[in-house]
Each structure stands twice: as structure tokens, then as C-alpha cells.
A and B are shown apart, each in its own frame.
Chain A
Amino acid sequence: RKEVEQDPGPFNVPEGATVAFNCTYSNSASQSFFWYRQDCRKEPKLLMSVYSSGNEDGRFTAQLNRASQYISLLIRDSKLSDSATYLCAVNIFKNDKLIFGTGTRLQVFP
């Protein structure tokens, strides 16, 4: 089993739609969780950290479910500019290596 797993997609959604991605992790000792966005042929950029209580940043909401060992990302009112690959990342210890999922490709169409 992979350490971090994601559905690769692609998710094709119209503008204005709400879309959700899940990411599962295998190590129950994992402490820190993140969502990154990666545009084609570019480096990943941090979208948001995922906190135990869940957190929201504008149209984006991240949740953590420790019991089931997954994190989620919800995007509301999708924009064309949201089209990208969304990577979840996990690490076990602070300042330890980040392990990435395969990424989920999102394509928002007009």
C-alpha cells in the first residue's frame, strides 16, 4: 500500500461547481498534512495546511479525519483558474520529509 494515495482523476467540472478531493495516508503517526497546487511543468505551491479542526480559506476548505486516515479538499464555486493538479502531502515528524500523493488533476471548463 502506498504511503499517500489520491484518485488521479481527471475531474472535469463546469465553472461554479463544487468539487471535493480525498487523500488517504497509511501511517497513523502522521502529524502534518498539506494541500499543494501544481500547475503544468511548474513547482508545487502550498495551497493550505490542514488542521485537526478543519480550516477554510475563501473558496477552499480542508478537513482531516484521523480515525479514517484521510484528508479532504473542497473547492466551491470553481473557477477556470483552479485547473491544476492538487497534491496532498504528509509528514510524520516536524521538519521531516514530505511524502506526496500522486496528485488529482482538476479541469474546470466554461
Chain B
Amino acid sequence: GAVVSQHPSRVICKSGTSVKIECRSLDFQATTMFWYRQFPKQSLMLMATSNEGSKATYEQGVEKDKFLINHASLTLSTLTVTSAHPEDSSFYICSARDADRGTNEAFFGQGTRLTVV
């Protein structure tokens, strides 16, 4: 299947600092990428849809000024958690579709486990 690479896989940061997470499509171009967050024993909750060359579309209740998304190229989207707090500790996962495949399958990055101390 198509490959989506996400890093870092794990990060620990101090409260008040910012953390950037990268999501890359390695062997296809992704005009749209999706960012999810998953708390322990809960499902993946969509945070935002990242569109190449334009502003991201955020889901209700997700602060766009806190979770900055940039999708500057067809293969890279970044999520920056600004002024992180302990309640932001979670598993963040990106996904993308390969439009050329003709299927609707979404491929996921490996996820980033963020711990804010």
C-alpha cells in the first residue's frame, strides 16, 4: 500500500512549549491529509482536514489557533501544538488518500505519542 510517514513517533515536552509533527506521503501526492487525535481507550477523533495550498478545515471544538496546520506541498502536512498543556497529551495520527489509486482507502502515519509534562 501507499506509505505515509509521520514523525516524531514519540515526544515529551514541557508545558507551555510548542511541538511540531510532520506527516509525509512518501510515494504519492496527497492534496488532502487528515489529522486525528486519540485518547486512551477512545476512538480516533478527527481534528482537521488539511488542504494543500489552502487553510485547513477544523472540526467543531478544535481550536485552530492552538493546533496550527500547514500543508505547503503535496507530500507534507505539519501539525503544531502550540503552548502545549498536559491535557494535550494524546496520540496524534495523520492520514492521506492516494487519489490516483481509484480506491477510497486511507493510509495512516505511524502516529505521534505526545506527553506534556
A is bound by B: yes
Q: Count residues of chain A with CB under 8 A from any CB of chain B.
A: 21
Over the window 21-59 of chain A, the binary record of Cβ atoms lying under 8 Å from chain B Cβ atoms (1 yes, 0 no) is 000000000001010000001111110010000000000
Q: When A43-B111, A49-B103 are in contact, do A100 and B44 touch as well, CB less than 8 Å? A: yes
Q: Does B67 contact A (CB under 8 A)?
A: no
Interface of B, helix, strand, loop or mixed by DSSP: strand
B110 to A43, Cβ gap below 8 A? Answer: yes
The interface size bin for chain B is: 20 to 34
Chain A positions 86-104 with a Cβ under 8 Å from a chain B Cβ? 87, 89, 91, 94-95, 97-103
Point out the residues of chain B lying under 8 angstroms from A100, CB to CB: 36, 43-45
Tell me the minimal C-beta distance from B26 to chain A in angstroms. 15
A103 to B104, Cβ gap below 8 A? Answer: no
Cα separation A49 to B1 with both chains bound (whole Å)? 14
A87 to B44, Cβ gap below 8 A? Answer: yes
A103 to B43, Cβ gap below 8 A? Answer: yes
Which residues of A are at the interface with B, using a C-beta cutoff of 8 A?
32, 34, 41-46, 49, 87, 89, 91, 94-95, 97-103
Q: When A49-B103, A102-B42, A103-B43 are in contact, do A41 and B91 touch as well, CB less than 8 Å? A: yes
New contact pairs (19) apart from A43-B93, A44-B108, CB-CB < 8 Å = A34-B104, A42-B111, A43-B109, A44-B44, A46-B106, A46-B107, A49-B103, A49-B104, A49-B105, A87-B44, A89-B106, A95-B32, A98-B46, A98-B106, A99-B46, A100-B36, A100-B44, A100-B45, A103-B43
